[in-house]
Chain A
Amino acid sequence: QSVLTQPPSASGTPGQRVTISCSGRSSNIGDNSVNWYQQFPGTAPKLLIYSDNQRPSGVPDRVSGSKSGTSASLAISGLQSDDEADYYCSAWDDRLNGVVFGGGTKLIVL
């Protein structure tokens, strides 16, 4: 059981906009920044969004993040087949004194 809650899957067709939700509590998302990671099978995760809505260099602006209270969302617009991957939300948890992750969402491009 993951500390942060994500839907197990999401899907969309090429060109569409999809969102992935992430729900937590005050000790993690409520009081700390949310980060999102993208992972392809057999490879290490890659930082996609940090500090709720900041994109590292190289991440296209069709990828965005937002946060409200104890929930966060990742949005990908102009969906491409290359976006098919697993996505994880994460934050520091002040109560657990550690990093917590969501269970991951498998994004399927139909």
Chain B
Amino acid sequence: EVQLLQSGGGLVQPGGSLRLSCEASGFTFSGVALSWVRQAPGQGLEWVSSISGGSGRGSINVFYANSVKGRVTISRDNSKNTLNLQLNSLRVEDTAVYYCAKALRSYSPLDYWGQGTLVTVSS
């Protein structure tokens, strides 16, 4: 059974940092592309970032939404079946539930999702 178990999140002040993690099981982690999608309170889904399957810096591709580019870093640890999202220079508008998700093929569609974790940016 595919499972994506998220951790991290919480309350942080504007300008602060936070690290989200997503531990996967039930599939061959290293070969699958993974993504982060967020949802602000009462709003729709917004893609944040994707990372290709594979291992080694030379063979991995990463993509970021313009809204977070330069402030966010996606990474994966295939030895621990874990996906990470480092959030820096957080803004009030980054407040959202963040979901990790695995791709069925290439980077889309996203066929399994984590339970979501709330990030609140507030002073």
Chain A-chain B contacts (Cβ-Cβ < 8 Å), number: 65
Q: What is the CB-to-nearest-CB distance from A41 to chain B, in angstroms, rounded to a whole number?
A: 10
Q: Judge whether B55 is part of the interface by a CB distance below 8 angstroms.
A: no
- A44 engages B47 (CB within 8 Å): no
Q: Judge whether B63 is part of the interface by a CB distance below 8 angstroms.
A: yes
Known A-B contacts A98-B50, A101-B46, A102-B44; A35 and B109 likewise in contact (beta carbons under 8 Å) = yes
A2 to B63, CA, bound (A): 18
Chain B residues whose C-beta falls within 8 Å of the C-beta of A32 in the assembled complex? 108
Which one, B11-19, B23-31, B76-84, B112-120, is touching chain A? Answer: B112-120
Most buried by A among B45, B114, B116: B45
Q: Judge whether B95 is part of the interface by a CB distance below 8 angstroms.
A: no
Taken residue by residue from 74 to 101, chain A's Cβ proximity to chain B (1 for < 8 Å, 0 otherwise) reads as 0000000000001010111000111111
Chain B residues whose C-beta falls within 8 Å of the C-beta of A98 in the assembled complex? 47, 50, 63-65
Chain A residues whose C-beta falls within 8 Å of the C-beta of B108 in the assembled complex? 32-33, 35, 90-92, 99
A100 to B108, CA, bound (A): 10
Q: Judge whether B86 is part of the interface by a CB distance below 8 angstroms.
A: no
The SS class assigned to the A binding surface is strand
- A46 engages B47 (CB within 8 Å): no
A33 to B37, CA, bound (A): 18
Known A-B contacts A98-B63, A101-B45; A47 and B107 likewise in contact (beta carbons under 8 Å) = no
Taken residue by residue from 42 to 64, chain B's Cβ proximity to chain A (1 for < 8 Å, 0 otherwise) reads as 00111100100000000000011
- Among A50, A97, A102, contact of B111 (Cβ-Cβ < 8 Å): A50
Known A-B contacts A99-B50, A99-B108; A104 and B44 likewise in contact (beta carbons under 8 Å) = yes
- A2 engages B44 (CB within 8 Å): yes
- A90 engages B109 (CB within 8 Å): yes
Q: Judge whether B21 is part of the interface by a CB distance below 8 angstroms.
A: no
- A101 engages B44 (CB within 8 Å): yes
Known A-B contacts A44-B113, A92-B108; A100 and B63 likewise in contact (beta carbons under 8 Å) = no
5 contacts between A and B (CB under 8 A): A44-B113, A45-B45, A47-B111, A96-B66, A101-B44
